[in-house]
Copies of this chain bind each other. A is one copy, B any other.
Amino acid sequence: MSEPLFKSLVIVGLGLIGSSVARALKDRAGDKIGKIGLYDAQPEVRQRCQSLGLGDEICEDLSQAVSQADGVMFCVPVGANASLAQSIGPHLKAGTIVTDVGSVKQSFIRDVGSWLPEGVHLVPGHPVAGTEHSGPDAGFGALFQDRWCILTPPSNTDSQAIARVSALWEIMGANVEIMEAQHHDLVLAVTSHLPHLIAYTIVGTASDLETVTEKECVKFAAGGFRDFTRIAASDPVMWRDIFLNNREAALEILGRFTEDLFALQRAIRWGEGETLEALFQRTRKIRRDVIDAKQA
């Protein structure tokens, strides 16, 4: 029998993503993972995962658990990375791989890197997958199937460590892409952070109007609004942390968006139908590309 990929993998943070990783590995890893330990800072979440039968062990003592692990995966809101790294850093042994699932990668490297002892490998990861639901009950094992997981290892990262984290995601059905952390943060600002920011804003705007009631917005949501409410139902703390930690990229992309929106606003004001139609034709094509790429 070949060596397992990880003898002991500890997942910290058991929300939608962490609990989905636990499920996906249980379903698919076989003997490639020795033991899956689970930890969450909230006792009631640990208890719930126990009831759900997730993982091989619910860890009550995180320091002890990580000291015996060869893999630790951070699945917490990105704003919690620094304090988590600070608290577990001293207990990690050389050779252990620390990875994560967060939506911002430069801040993970910045917040976690300096707390890791010599010989611990840092392999930042981000599975581009999710739903608007949160918590351990929302997770499911097929969440990462045919989705991309982006790894952003710093340039000096041990190649074996990268290969092991890649293999971990491939077990869960994901395709792996390696990317610079800075570029990741810009790409995700476009494809994920801006859409969420816009959705939160539009739902907020709708509910603040005096001339149209919130009840009317809800009642007639099927005209497009409902899709925005879905996105705007995503975990508030997680998303707060994403915007605070990917500020520069989010603001840059937001600036571009606002510029384009003003141009469109002007086209509406001046009745420039051709400008509107040309854009609407162009965006339709991109939808077809998304469908062809099986990311719809």
Contact = CB atoms under 8 A, between A and B. Distances in A.
Interface stretch (A9-17, A33-41, A157-165, A204-212): A204-212
B209 A202 contact: no
B251 A209 contact: no
Contact of A228 (B195, B280, B289): B195
Interface string A184-228: 001110111111111111111111110110101111111111111
A286 B203 contact: yes
A195 B220 CA distance: 13
Interface residues of A, number: 95
Number of copies: 2
A200 B283 contact: yes
A295 B224 CA distance: 10
A189 to B, nearest CB: 8
A31 to B, nearest CB: 30
Given A265-B254, A271-B244, A276 B232 contact: no
B148 A287 contact: no
A231 to B, nearest CB: 6
A30 interface: no
Interface in A231-252: 231-234, 236-237, 239-241, 243-244, 247, 250-251
Contact of A224 (B147, B195, B211, B280): B195
A129 B222 CA distance: 6
Nearest to A256: B205
A160 to B, nearest CB: 26
A224 B200 CA distance: 12
11 contacts: A191-B220, A198-B198, A198-B202, A209-B256, A218-B286, A218-B295, A229-B286, A229-B290, A230-B296, A247-B271, A254-B261
Given A198-B261, A204-B260, 16 more contacts: A147-B222, A187-B216, A191-B223, A201-B264, A203-B283, A203-B287, A224-B231, A225-B290, A226-B290, A226-B295, A229-B286, A240-B276, A240-B280, A241-B273, A243-B268, A258-B258
